Amino acid sequence: MPFPSGSDPWGIAAENLSQQKLTSRILQNEIVKEVNENPNDGWIAAFNDRFANSTVAEFKRLLGVKPTTKNEFLGVPVVSHDISLKLPKEFDARTAWSQCSSIGRILDQGHCGSCWAFGAVESLSDRFCIKYNMNISLSVNDLLACCGFLCGQGCNGGYPISNYISGWLLQDQERNERMWNRTRCCSRFAFRQERL
C-alpha cells in the first residue's frame, strides 16, 4: 500500500461548507489583498473576469474530482527517493522537455466539472512525450463520452487516478470494440489503436 494506513496522502481535509459560504462570491477583495501583501510570493493576484461573479457553489461544481479509495492504489508501484535529494530552486517542464507541445498547452473545460478527465488526459499525453519523444493528443471528449460510470459521471465529476492507473486511456482495439458494443455511446475507435 503506497500510503501508511489511516493517513491522507494529500494531507488535507475537506470541510463542510455552510449555505452562507456556498452562496458567497468566490473572489473577494480581501482575498486578493491578502495574497498581494506578500511580495515574495512571485506572483500578483487579480480578478479573473470569467469567475468574478461566481459563487462558491458555482465554482465548486467545476472541481469535479471524486475521492479515490485506498483499494485503487493496491498494486501500484511506489517510487521512493532519498530524503537528501536536492531539488532545484526552480524548474519549468516546458523548458526541460521543449519538444513536448502538450506540456505548455492549457485546455478550457468550460462550465463542465470535467477537470478529472482533463487531468488524466493531459498528464498521460505529457508522460508519453517525455518517455517516447512523441507528441500525441489524447481526447478529453472521448474519455468523457466513452468511459461512463467506470471513470466518472461526465461533467458531474470523476476519478482521474482510476483512468491513469487502469489504462482506460490506452484501450486496445478489442477492448474498445467490446465497450462500444455494450454502450454504443462512443466511437468504435475513439482511442489510438497502436500501443506505444
Q: Which domain holds residue 104?
A: 64-77+84-196
- Same structural domain, 88 and 121: yes
What pLDDT, on the 0 to 100 scale, is given for residue 2? 43
Question: Would 6 be classed as within a structural domain?
Answer: no
48 lies in some domain: yes
| Residues of the chain where predicted confidence (pLDDT) is lower than 70 | 1-20, 22, 26-27, 147-150, 160-196
Q: What is the structure's pLDDT at 175?
A: 47
Q: What's the maximum distance between 2 C-alpha atoms anywhere in the chain?
A: 57
Indicate whether 98 and 118 sit together in one domain.
yes
Q: Residue 172's pLDDT is what?
A: 41
* The 3-state secondary structure of 135-178, one letter per residue: CCCCCHHHHHHHCHHHCECCCECECHHHHHHHCHHHCCHHHHHH
Using one digit for the tens of pLDDT, what is the confidence trace for 71-90?
Answer: 777 777 788 888 888 888 89
Do 91 and 35 lie in a common domain? no
Please name the residue that has the C-alpha cell 456556498.
22
96 and 38 co-located in one domain: no
Q: What is the pLDDT of residue 20?
A: 62
